[in-house]
Amino acid sequence: MNKLLVALIASTFATVAAAQTAAPVAGAAPAAAPATKAATNAAKQETVKSTTEAAAAATTTAGDAAMQKKNVEASKKDAKPLADKAQKQKAVASTTEAAATANTTATDAAKAKANTAATKNDPKAAKPDFKAKDAYTKEQKLSTP
C-alpha cells in the first residue's frame, strides 16, 4: 500500500513538472537569451517604469486634480457656520446642557418625585380586623387555594 502511495505521489509531481515546461513549437527557433545581466536589468527597469506610470495615470488624472482644486477654492468661499467665539461657546453650552439632562438621572428623579407625590394622595387600603372571628375566617378562606 505504501509503495502504491509513493508511486502515485511521484507521478503527480512528474505530471505537474511536465505541465509547467513550455512545449516546443515545430519549426520555431529557440528564443535568444539576453546577452548580459545589465541588459536584463534594463529590461526589468523599463517594465517597472511603464507599469508605475500607468498605475499613476489610472489613479489620479490631471482633470481630477483640477476638479479637486476648484472644489477646494469654492469651499473656502463658503461662510463658516459659527463665525465668532461667542457663537461657538453658546453652541457648546447648549449641547452640553442637552446631553447632561438626557444622560443623567435628573429627569428620572423628577419623575419619581412626581409619582411619589401622586401615590401619597391615594387612600390606603383598609386592613382587616383579625380580632373579629368572621373576618379572620374570611381572610383564611381567601388565602387558601
Beta carbons of 132 and 139 less than 8 angstroms apart: no
User: Considering only CA atoms, which of 113, 139, 114, 117 is closest in space to residue 126?
Assistant: 139
pLDDT in tens, 87-96: 888 888 888 8
Per-residue pLDDT of 67-112, as tens digits, reads 888 888 888 777 667 767 888 888 888 888 776 666 556 667 778 8
Q: How far is CA 75 from CA 42, 61, 62, 69, 118, in A?
A: 47, 21, 20, 10, 57
CA atoms of 82 and 90, how far apart (whole Å)? 10
pLDDT of residue 35: 60
pTM above 0.85, yes or no: no
* Mean pLDDT for the chain overall: 75
The pLDDT score that the predictor gives to residue 133 is: 72
Give the burial class of 116: count Cβ atoms within 10 A of its Cβ; 0-12 exposed, 13-18 middle, 19 or more buried. Answer: exposed
